[in-house]
Amino acid sequence: MSMGNVMVLAGRVGKDLTDTTYELIGKARELAAAWGGRVEVALFGTADPAGTLGAADVVVNIDHPALSDYVPEAYEVALRRVLAERAPRLLLLSNDTVGLDLGSALSVLWDAPQAAYVIELSADGDAVVATCQILGGKILAEVVIDAPRAIATVAAGSFPAAAGQGTDGVEVVTLTPPAELDTTRVTLRQIIEPTGGDVDITAADLLVSVGRGVGSKDDLETVQELADALGAPLSASRPVIDAGWMPKSRQVGKSGLKVKPKAYLSFGISGAPEHLEGMREAELIIACNTDAAAPIFDVAHYGTTIDLFDLVPALVEKLEG
Ligand SMILES: Cc1cc2nc3c(=O)[nH]c(=O)nc-3n(C[C@H](O)[C@H](O)[C@H](O)COP(=O)(O)OP(=O)(O)OC[C@H]3O[C@@H](n4cnc5c(N)ncnc54)[C@H](O)[C@@H]3O)c2cc1C
């Protein structure tokens, strides 16, 4: 329990752990190495997924019926116990509804400064240096925390998951559930899954994405033909969704979905920060926009200023011909 330990809260979706869990463990390894500490993962509910946490040094488990699904009150009680017992230097949470609930509560209860909307983290001597998004990513602020303990809530997709994946055996420490878990006042009634039926754009290797530059719902058909010819789903920027031309499940960006395809082909998308937030991790970005100054070209690996209505039909012809 050295002062240099880094604790990661494992995020769960049903039985599985979230990708972000592994992203945080990978970064935790780097930070713990700099501080001569260890990586510990707090895992609540059944310890079954501990087998996938081999990149950590220790899994700290608390199992109790109140922890089988995420309930803020119960998780807060459990995490306070873990922090009191293990005294990490830094607690890493995902910057989602869970992490934002717990981060702000524990910042007060555990008396630790919190950096939120974090996209980069490093160690500078004993201090934690965090790059945080402000105003939806329009401004990046560098925050240096040299308090003895700190909390960072980190945006999904900020670090590669591979560095945090491992199947080596890991030491599992089981803590006695705090008595307060028997008397929590909040219970989870029901999880309402989003209605499915549509494609999952976050799982696609190739995405064809369309923005307001397409002009109208009818003209979407042109780009849809290209997507069909490539066997890729069509995704979109927010104005296309807000106009009702495509379902919300296809929206890429801050208030939509974060995608990481092998290739992202964008047509008529300007590249606003809220859009880039959802797709800048794509391995290859190819952009078509008639405005050479459009910010999408700052992140694109290849780009063209050809009018999409000239380019897309020509591509379709080439693919089908
Ligand atoms: C809190 C908040 C959350 C948001 N969340 C999201 C989000 O999740 N996802 C998202 O996308 N946006 C989001 N936005 C909106 C975002 O700020 C932008 O308004 C939006 O991304 C712009 O969409 P666009 O690029 O399609 O449209 P525009 O910015 O209007 O760009 C259209 C582009 O098409 C180009 N163009 C026009 N005609 C052609 C042609 N014939 N051929 C080629 N190019 C052409 C133009 O040069 C222009 O660059 C959010 C905003 C806020 C404030």
257 has which bridge partners? 252
Residues in the chain: 321
Distance CA 42, CA 147 (A): 22
Ligand 1 pocket test target in 240, 274, 315 with most atoms within 8 Å of CB: 274
Digits of tens for pLDDT over the chain (321 positions)? 446 999 999 998 877 899 999 999 999 999 999 999 999 999 999 988 888 999 999 999 999 999 988 999 999 999 999 999 999 999 999 999 999 999 999 999 999 999 999 999 999 999 999 999 998 777 899 999 999 999 999 998 889 999 999 988 899 999 999 999 999 999 888 887 766 567 889 889 999 999 999 999 999 999 999 999 999 999 999 999 999 999 999 999 988 998 999 999 999 999 999 999 999 999 999 999 999 999 999 999 999 999 999 999 999 999 988
Q: Which amino acid is at 92?
A: L
Distance CA 277, CA 156 (A): 10
- Which atom, in ligand 1's list, is nearest to the CA of 256? 8
What pLDDT is recorded for position 2?
A: 47
What pLDDT is recorded for position 238?
A: 97
Cβ of 253 closer than 6 Å to ligand 1, yes or no, is yes
Helices (DSSP H) in the chain: which residue ranges?
19-35, 72-86, 97-109, 217-230, 238-242, 273-279, 296-299, 308-320
Cβ of 269 closer than 6 Å to ligand 1, yes or no, is yes
Separation of CA 246 and ligand 1 centre (Å): 14
Separation of CA 253 and ligand 1 centre (Å): 10
Task: For residue 32, give every residue at least 6 positions away whose Cβ sits within 8 Å of its Cβ, in sequence order, or none.
Answer: 4, 5, 6, 38, 39, 57
Cβ of 136 closer than 6 Å to ligand 1, yes or no, is yes
Distance CA 192, CA 99 (A): 20
Angle at 118 between CA 127 and CA 88, to 5 degrees: 45
